[in-house]
Amino acid sequence: MGNELTIEFEALPLKRAYPFLEANGLQAEAQGIRASKDQFGSYTTTLKRAKVVALLSSKGLLDAFVAEHWHHGASEKGRAIKRLMRIYQRWAETGGTAPEGGDQDDEDAGSEFAQEEDLRDYLAENLHVLEDGMTLWPVGENQEAVEFVVDDTNRRIDILAKDRDGIPTVIELKVSRGHEKTIGQSLYYRARVRELFKSGKVRIVIVAREISPELRAATSDLQDVSLFEYRLSMILKRV
């Protein structure tokens, strides 16, 4: 039931974005984004990246930045950029939300997923690494397949996908260790998806850095549940 997933990840590099903005006459804007404590849902550092993309786009500098510092931004038909733009637009439409706690900055995290949001964003853009033919679930205009809301208490599935056969798939992510309580949460989400989409079958995929023995045992007799442990591959580039 368990599988190992190797991830090569390159988020928008904020350490290169700030100097790039400053070199192009946007010192005040760069400083404002760097110091920002804004939060949108669970997005903190990802919101900073979204602000950078929106600013670069508005100033006609996005293509130059991607070419010089973020080649991943041009891959997958620019899906990483489109996702960051959607996050920015949603945040701007709400007028922004102040964080209740401090920002857990992941700028110095290197190739590590310092926050679950980064793992979620990567997999949302690269579902094929889990399974060939897996894509985001098609949702309505005012919905998102990422952080898909399942009830009126605002509980959210990390990623709602569909496999190559069109079967809904609940994807739950744990940036560190997946414990047995994860399956209880996932089973509730599966029940809600069955109800919402009148689907007789719904799969569950759990991705964590480490799957605990208790979680393996708790899922051993459950059908349509897949467990993945991920490891990160660091990419070094001479500059």
Q: At 108, which amino acid appears?
A: D
The fold of 126-239 is Trna Endonuclease; Chain: A, domain 1 (3.40.1350)
As annotated, the residues of the chain forming the CATH 3.40.1350.10 domain(s) are 126-239
pLDDT in tens, the chain (239 residues): 567 766 665 678 899 999 999 999 999 999 999 999 888 876 788 889 999 999 999 999 999 999 999 877 776 556 678 878 888 988 888 876 544 433 333 433 333 454 567 788 788 888 998 999 999 999 877 788 998 999 888 889 999 999 999 999 999 998 777 788 899 999 999 999 999 999 999 999 999 988 999 999 999 999 899 999 988 765 555 65
Write out the H or E segment, with its range, that includes residue 69: helix 62-69
DSSP letters of 34-66?
HH---BBTTBSHHHHHHHHHHHHHHTT-HHHHH
Nearest to 160 by CA among 231, 43, 150: 150
The shares of helix, strand and coil residues in the chain, as percent rounded to the nearest 5, are: 40, 20, 35
- Please state, in angstroms and as integers, the Cα–Cα distance from residue 141 to each residue in 10, 85, 123, following that order: 29, 16, 21
pTM above 0.95, yes or no: no
